[in-house]
Amino acid sequence: VSLAHSLRLNDPDDFTHNSFADALEEARELIDEDGRVPEHLRNAVEGHLSNFNISVGVTDDFMEALYNDEEFTFTNPRTEEPHVATPETKEIYDMFGLGEHVEVGEELSIPAQELWDDMIEGAHENGEPGVIYLERVNKEHSFDVEEHPDHRILATNPCGEQPLEEYEACNLGHINLSTLAAQDAPDWRVWSDEHADEY
């Protein structure tokens, strides 16, 4: 089974899923010399996300803040109102080294470059998180999602090649090319060597 989850970057809780370096370090402490989790911890570890891809849904507002070296303000994607930091927000962001940017009672704004750097660091470390440009995907969608919001795309299939609406199936197939190769077909490498200069 392969699973995926896309976290829209607007949501202030999303960033806590992006600091995979800490999670990876914790996992390394659990693994024994043979690269296995000790038997008495396997059930607990298997309860964590496995066979699971995580992507961050990046918005045009975030990319604009990144390009302009500005802070990105987290907002509620439904109301578009800025998130106001709570003591719990401050505590969580302290855990991920971003607490200096959080003022309780103020709008939650973090330098976009710091968020981006942490995402890139995680992607280089272990492939997580992926990035999906949600607004660009929806602009290219065959439905006008402003007129038909129930057709909005929020994620892709786990491998990321097919953006999907909610509950939509990913219909992928495979082709065994060796069954399609004609044994008596011309060797195009030989043809190229003999005739490439004619074209």
Out of 107, 157, 165, 170, which one is annotated catalytic?
157
Q: Which phi and psi (to 5°) does residue 8 adopt?
A: -70, 130
Q: Is 161 a catalytic residue?
A: yes
Out of 161, 171, 176, 198, which one is annotated catalytic?
161
Q: Is 159 a catalytic residue?
A: yes
First to last CA, the chain: 49
The answer to whether 163 touches 137, Cβ cutoff 8 Å, is yes
User: Which two three-digit tokens encode residue 159?
Assistant: 């491998």
Out of 100, 106, 125, 159, which one is annotated catalytic?
159
The answer to whether 79 touches 11, Cβ cutoff 8 Å, is no
Cis previous bond, 163, omega within 30: no
Q: Which of 129, 69, 119 is nearest to 98 (CA)?
A: 119
The answer to whether 52 touches 129, Cβ cutoff 8 Å, is no
User: Which two three-digit tokens encode residue 183?
Assistant: 């044994």
Q: Is 170 a catalytic residue?
A: no
Known catalytic residues are: 157, 159, 161
